[in-house]
Amino acid sequence: MSVKPRLRRGVRLTYDKVRETHVLLYPEGVLVPNKTAAAVLELCDGESTVADITAALGKHYRGVQEADVNGVLSRLVERRVVEWL
């Protein structure tokens, strides 16, 4: 898939030191992504394709599949925090 995901306008991924986890801040609230989703979100820059994100994650984690990355991104698109370019 050659589309490029990015965080929607007004959405920000940050690290919450109190909770010791990443949080996704958006106008309607806060989402606490799991570690997998946070790793994907960190790479959603609007420049990297899903294949690029999969390759980058594959350098740090074993068994990363493009279909799995697409699945994570699809759920985040449904939540309206990520958009496709």
Q: Is residue 10 part of a domain?
A: yes
Asked if pLDDT for residue 24 goes beyond 80, the answer is yes
Q: Is residue 85 part of a domain?
A: no
- The string of pLDDT tens digits covering residues 67-78 is 999 999 999 999
Task: Compute the distance between CA of residue 31 and CA of residue 38 in angstroms, rounded to an integer.
Answer: 10
Asked if pLDDT for residue 1 goes beyond 60, the answer is no
Give the CATH number, domain containing residue 43.
1.10.10.1150
Number of domains the chain contains? 1
Ramachandran angles phi, psi of 3, nearest 5°: -75, 160
Q: What is the pLDDT of residue 2?
A: 82
Domain that holds residue 71: 5-80
> Which pTM was predicted?
0.93
Percent above pLDDT 90 for the chain: 95
Task: Compute the distance between CA of residue 9 and CA of residue 66 in angstroms, rounded to an integer.
Answer: 25
Q: Is residue 29 part of a domain?
A: yes
Q: Is residue 64 part of a domain?
A: yes
Q: What is the mean pLDDT of the chain?
A: 96
Asked if pLDDT for residue 61 goes beyond 80, the answer is yes
